[in-house]
Amino acid sequence: MTRQTILITGCSSGIGRTTARYFQERGWNVVATVRSNPEGDQELNALDNVLVTELDVTRKASIDSAIAAGIEHFGRIDVLLNNAGYGSYGLLEATPEHKMRRQYEVNVIGTMLAMQSILPHFRQRGEGLIINISSMGGKITFPLGTLYHGSKFAVEGMTEALSHELAAIGVTVKLIEPGAINTNFATTSLDMNLDPGLTEYNAFVEAVTGAFGTLAGRGSDPVIVANTVWDAATDGTRQLRYIAGEDARQIIAARQQMSDPEYLAHLRSQLGL
């Protein structure tokens, strides 16, 4: 049987790295992409059937080059996993424009560029699968998440819309919606924008950031997301959405069952607002 190949963006750490190892251990070829210095990643480079290559989702040429390298090395790519992400949280009033733009350039434009770049390969083969890492934050929101949630809501919308046209060429697109995950996202990919000089917000910010600390300590292991990606890649269905993590399952279900006023009041009470 010919080995299948998955290309994963954002393999420097966290979900991407765990998923790369998960698929490699189960006999897949893996194109594990990192934003810089792929030669220096001793762990991934030591694995059989893994090609470590550079991919910066904010640069189209970098995306094209990584996809071409994967196809040349393994002969084909069967699955694209858009995992690379960036999170900008904080007060909108305290957020500079360049961080607003970066939030959407990484999470939204970067995802669209990667999908656009792989589509000629999939279209010529008449098959292929794209899996986009969204978040429970693409279905619900938390305070201070104006930029991040906006970007993940966009990923949800564009993926669902894209599913129609891709079905016409034999390509499937899916979404993974993780809850809180124990990774270093908070230290490497999360950017907090606050300004103590905006004193009117201080009590609110203190309450919300305190609650975030509690939530972060309850995160799931990233292998839960890797396992969910595996299910999505191998179940042979056109199921669109997959929830990863019990917290995400409970929170998304509660949101679906409540009206807007009910849910917002419930969330504020949980955060002590």
User: Which of 12, 62, 117, 134 is the catalytic position?
Assistant: 134
What integer pLDDT is reported at residue 190 of this predicted model?
67
Instruction: Assess whether 134 carries a catalytic annotation.
Output: yes
Provide the b/e sequence for 66-104 (b: ≥16 CB within 10 Å). bbebbbeebebbbbbbbbbbbbbbbbeebbeeeebebbb
What integer pLDDT is reported at residue 215 of this predicted model?
62
What integer pLDDT is reported at residue 51 of this predicted model?
98
3-class SS of residue 34: strand
The per-residue pLDDT for range 17-75, each reduced to its tens digit, is 999 999 999 999 999 999 999 999 999 999 999 999 999 999 999 999 999 999 999 99
What integer pLDDT is reported at residue 211 of this predicted model?
78
What is the Cα 235 distance to its own chain's centre?
20
Is-contact 207 146, C-beta < 8 A? Answer: no
Task: Check whether 199 has a pLDDT greater than 70.
Answer: yes
Task: Check whether 196 has a pLDDT greater than 80.
Answer: yes
Cα Rg of the chain, angstroms: 19
The per-residue pLDDT for range 113-148, each reduced to its tens digit, is 999 999 999 999 999 999 999 999 999 999 999 999
155 to each of 83, 117, 137, 244, how far by Cα in Å?
A: 11, 17, 11, 16
User: Which of 89, 117, 139, 152 is the catalytic position?
Assistant: 152
3-class SS of residue 123: helix
Q: Where are the domains of the chain?
A: 5-270
Instruction: Assess whether 148 carries a catalytic annotation.
Output: yes
Q: What is the DSSP string of 36-96?
A: S-GGG-HHHHTSTTEEEEE--TT-HHHHHHHHHHHHHHHS---EEEE----EEEE-GGG--
pLDDT band of residue 11 (cuts 50, 70, 90) is very high
The per-residue pLDDT for range 215-270, each reduced to its tens digit, is 655 678 899 999 999 999 999 999 999 999 999 999 999 999 999 999 999 988 88
Which H or E run contains 207? helix 202-216
Q: E strands within 99-228? A: 128-133, 171-178, 190-193
What integer pLDDT is reported at residue 181 of this predicted model?
84
The one-letter amino acid code at 241 reads R
Fold adopted by 5-270: Rossmann fold (3.40.50)
pLDDT band of residue 197 (cuts 50, 70, 90) is very high
What integer pLDDT is reported at residue 217 of this predicted model?
59
Is-contact 84 106, C-beta < 8 A? Answer: yes
pLDDT band of residue 191 (cuts 50, 70, 90) is confident
User: Which of 22, 86, 89, 148 is the catalytic position?
Assistant: 148
Main-chain phi, psi angles of 259, to 5 degrees: -75, 170
Is-contact 119 165, C-beta < 8 A? Answer: no
